[in-house]
Chains A and B, each alone.
Chain A
Amino acid sequence: MADEKHGDIIEAPGVLVLSFIFLILFVIIWFAHLKWLLEIWAVE
């Protein structure tokens, strides 16, 4: 853990792709969850 810059984000393309996958999953789950909440709370 020396005090220096070790590389660039392009050196971790897997994590970059994973981040996008998680982002898309999060948006889907969040809106499904929101729809569920609106039903529970009976919001018209």
Chain B
Amino acid sequence: MAAEDYRICSFTGLKIHKPTEDLIKWNTVTAILFLALGGLMGFLIALTRWPSVHYLSLQNYYRYLTLHGIDALLLWIIFFEIGLVYFTSAVLLNTRTVIPWAGWTGYALMLVGAVFVNFVVFAGKADVMFTSYVPLQADAVYYLGIIIFAVGALTCYGHFFANIIQAKRDGAYKHSLPLGSFGLAAACIIAVLTLAHGAVIMIPVFFWSMGLIHYIDPGTYRLIFWGLGHPSQQINVCAMVSVWYMISAFTVGGKPVNEKLSRTAFVLYIFFINVASEHHLLVDPIFSNWHKIINTSYMMHLAVFASMVHAFAVPASVEVALRNQGYTRGLFEWLKKAPWSNPAFSAMALSMVLFGFLGGITGVIFGTEQYNIIRHNTFAIPGHFHGTVVGGTTLAFMGFTYLLIPYIFRRELVMQGMAKWQPYVYGIGVAILSISMMSAGSFGVPRRHYDITFSGAPFSFTFDPAIDMFMSMVGIGGILAAIGGVMFILVAMGSIMYGKRLAS
């Protein structure tokens, strides 16, 4: 590989391979565009669940809810993760991406699949929501789009392994990968298992939608779908935790206090985090009670233990780094003097708090068998996963974008004042949204439901009047989060397109 294909980053000193840089740029920009679309859908849904606004029509509500799940949960996050795949398997290792055309093939497949799915849902032929539970049936193009996207994503996740094997041959690392790359390796291992489940169930459903197969058993579909649906969130957890470590390293020079322990925690994720998906199947007759209890009441906590290790290790890395910089007065001078106005750092800090308290703790509680039976299919569950995926993963990825803009795009951030406030506005909005959803869910408000007054139904049901307040807070939290989201899009896309060019 010619030396002119590389440049040295003036901020990090990392050697950056030009084709790798291009792959990161395209995946990141595509991710941000899908976040904008998914976020817009989320905003409209929040306004609809606000009882006194109830904005969308019945038909558009379920259509936009499907798109919100696809664009915000799947496309934004996976495109961004593919950018991370190349960052951690090449840039962080000071090496190159092997066979770059494989990366572009994966990207093209993902984009084609994403466009297919968006198009068919907008056309009103796939109002099946993110889970697309059988016997709900979408147009064949929807399933085809999902399959094409998954093949593309699998190509890119596989590319990670090709890169690190080549990096080892090139002597880019000796014993084990740096922690940021190690976390992404865990994410890629889970991704391969997850996408294999996707193939097992989505291919027959695709044939079913074309009339080539006449029956798909709903129980079997649910069982295999959740081998795809929930573990895909565990890919996000691994990628998010890696991003925490990397932001700590890049913003304050943080190094894990005990790297072996952090690595062990990632390995625990690979082995145990997927069993968390069993709570989707607690009322299904497929598994025995023993199986359900052992997974949801015992095994799940090994993954929880891993999260607690990271929850301690990342802030500890920040504290040690800041103490080494001289902030040693008392117990908390380092906390006071931390770079809170750096949006990458504040996004990471808020992401940890929101993920841990809103998403993590509630996930442990809701995932437990006895409790899950009460909360399942209530609004509390979206409250939980907006804490994990939005407050946690999305906010962490937003923070990392603020680093990618100077490091990879070589642009200066525009509207820096707005960038400084963005993580706080978004984080507070998501916190209000998530807490309100969980509170309303405690009163039995169902998730996904367009009309919880059941108007026109032959029976009536009246919720506790307190839910009006919580459902209104969902709308207010949604508006605040949408403002934070718009601020992010303006700063990120404004910087990428119009930011001052930085010398390499």
Contact = CB atoms under 8 A, between A and B. Distances in A.
Interface of A: 1-9, 11-15, 17-19, 26, 36-37, 40-41
Interface in B344-403: 357, 361, 374
A5 B332 contact: no
Contacts of B179: 1
B334 A1 contact: no
Interface in B417-448: 442-443
B52 to A, nearest CB: 23
B320 interface: yes
B257 A8 contact: yes
A11 B443 contact: no
B245 to A, nearest CB: 7
B259 A12 contact: no
Residue among A8, A13, A14, A26 with the highest chain B CB neighbour number at 10 A = A14
A40 B257 contact: no
Interface string B289-306: 000000000000000000
A11 B257 contact: yes
A23 to B, nearest CB: 11
B312 interface: yes
Contacts of B176: 3
Contact of B320 (A12, A17, A19, A26): A12
Given A26-B361, A40-B443, A40-B464, A3 B245 contact: no
B331 A5 contact: no
Nearest to B178: A1
B315 interface: yes
Contacts of A7: 257-258, 320
10 contacts: A1-B178, A1-B256, A3-B173, A5-B259, A6-B256, A7-B258, A7-B320, A9-B257, A9-B258, A15-B316
A18 B352 CA distance: 14
A12 B316 CA distance: 5
A2 B334 contact: no
Q: Is the interface of A mostly helix, strand, loop or mixed?
A: helix
A25 to B, nearest CB: 9
A11 B464 contact: no
Given A1-B178, A5-B257, 5 more contacts: A1-B255, A2-B178, A5-B259, A11-B320, A36-B442
A2 B245 CA distance: 12
Nearest to B246: A1
Given A14-B332, A15-B315, A18-B315, A6 B257 contact: yes
A10 B281 CA distance: 43
A11 to B, nearest CB: 5
Residue among A2, A4, A12, A41 with the highest chain B CB neighbour number at 10 A = A12
A34 to B, nearest CB: 10
A12 B311 CA distance: 13
Contact of A2 (B246, B255, B316, B361): B255
A1 B249 contact: yes
Given A1-B180, A26-B361, A40-B464, A14 B319 contact: yes
Contacts of B315: 12, 15, 18
Contacts of B316: 9, 11-12, 15
B443 A3 contact: no
B319 A15 contact: yes
A14 B335 contact: yes
A15 B255 contact: no
Interface in B250-291: 255-260
Contacts of B332: 14
B394 to A, nearest CB: 23
Given A1-B178, A3-B176, A19-B312, A12 B443 contact: no
A13 B464 contact: no
A33 to B, nearest CB: 9
Given A11-B323, A12-B315, A6 B442 contact: no
Interface string B313-335: 00110011001000000011011
B255 A37 contact: no
A13 B256 CA distance: 15
| 10 A-B pairs closest in CB distance | A12-B316, A12-B319, A1-B178, A15-B316, A6-B255, A14-B331, A15-B315, A1-B179, A11-B320, A7-B257
